[in-house]
Amino acid sequence: MMYAREPSCPKRLWIGGFAAAALVVCIVVEFASAAGPVYPGETWATRAPEAVGLDAAGLEAFSHYAGGRGCIVRHGYMVYTWGDVSRRADVASACKPWFSHFLFKAVEEGRIPSLDEKVARWEPRLKNINKPLGYKDRDITWRHMANQVSCYGLGEKPGTAYCYNDWQMALFFDTLFLKVYGATYDNVDAKVLHPKLTGVLQCQDDPTFMAFGTGDRAGRLGISVRDFARFGLLYLHKGNWKGRQLLSARHAAMAVTSALPNSIPRAGNMATDMIPGQRSLGSKRIPDNQTDHLGSYSWLWWTNGVDRDGKRHWPDAPKDAYGAFGHGGPRAMVVIPSLDLIVSWNDAKVRSREMESQALKLLVAALARLHSQEMGQSGC
């Protein structure tokens, strides 16, 4: 574990609270100054956990539970790391919010007229499949693709059901990046990813959409945990990076606050035709229907929504938490706006939604733990 040490802690003003878990949250005056948000440059500026209202022992407990490698950012500072944070590696389905980011960017640049444009304009073969079902795939829109309700490869009509589907995600990547942006597998990093995003964020470890090379699951993101945290910081600040709006505040906010309604059911298991030569971004199952949306899926991000049974996605985390997750939890980046906090991990021991919630509970507890200690020392 690594965290910076400082000779003394800044003066703090303690106010407010996290009602959902009855935890008191601190606001550190040093970071609420008129100077505005803090962003990393070529490297991250560091602070000791205590300097940003976090308890180092509590963070150690969190990292021990999570395992793997990762980092924690608060108020724009790198405050805690464990493992090799510079290692670039696949993040599996945690790459998906990056696809929606570039979809919004394509709209803002005028490459596509709207999120409701039919994808068949760019992939005409969609017009010619599933004749017995009324050529239903002709009606797939970008909005459908970016919320996994296209029902591609399944029997339902676009927009009527949810299907977490890696065949669809490969179609989404190929149509968006190769056709709308005009890139190839060989140059998509240099033509799109780097100049439009990771270069501006000054990522340190050369992120790539070719985590396994151009011949294996193209579109899978290879990125270090510390670079993934920069993407989280961008969304924490609603698409703004050092005064430059990389994505409109409207799209950045919409991306993480527009969970699918519980009225949209999970798709069934009727397999239907896909376009010839369709590849997958991961799963080879046909049909591929991996999970429900649980009232918590927003433009390929997972949010802390409520499912059809009234259960919150992460009951032990603040309601405004959202994140990108891969392989069911071991690869993730989570943003908690109300705490001005980002955590990024990979190869973790976190393997379920319940473990995700417990990990976030331990992380949030590191705030309350330090406050309790200081209140005791002050005699309050």
Q: How does pLDDT run across 312-339, given as a tens digit for each residue?
A: 999 999 999 999 999 999 999 999 999 9
- The strand pairing partners of 334, in sequence order, are 323, 343
What is the mean pLDDT of the segment spanning 119-142? 99
pTM, entire model: 0.91
Q: Between these two residues, 222 and 17, which has the higher pLDDT value?
A: 222
Q: pLDDT per residue over 239-295, tens digit each?
A: 999 999 999 999 999 999 999 999 999 999 999 999 999 999 999 999 999 999 999
Q: pLDDT per residue over 33-85, tens digit each?
A: 346 999 999 999 999 999 999 999 999 999 999 999 999 999 999 999 999 99
pLDDT band at 7 (very low <50, low <70, confident <90, very high): very low
Least confident of 27-36, 127-136, 231-240, 242-251: 27-36
Specify whether domain 89-313 bears CATH 3.40.190.10: no
**The pair of three-digit structure tokens given for residue 31, joined into one six-digit string:** 């970071």
What is the mean pLDDT of the segment spanning 88-93? 99
Q: Between these two residues, 285 and 27, which has the higher pLDDT value?
A: 285
Given a cut of 50, whether residue 11 has pLDDT beyond it is no
pLDDT band at 218 (very low <50, low <70, confident <90, very high): very high
- Say which residues have a Cβ less than 8 Å from residue 185's Cβ, sequence separation at least 6: 178, 210, 214, 218
pLDDT band at 377 (very low <50, low <70, confident <90, very high): low
14 and 32 Cβ atoms separated by less than 8 Å: no
**Whole-angstrom Cα distance, residue 82 to residue 302?**
24
Q: Between these two residues, 3 and 132, which has the higher pLDDT value?
A: 132
pLDDT band at 374 (very low <50, low <70, confident <90, very high): low
pLDDT band at 225 (very low <50, low <70, confident <90, very high): very high
pLDDT band at 301 (very low <50, low <70, confident <90, very high): very high
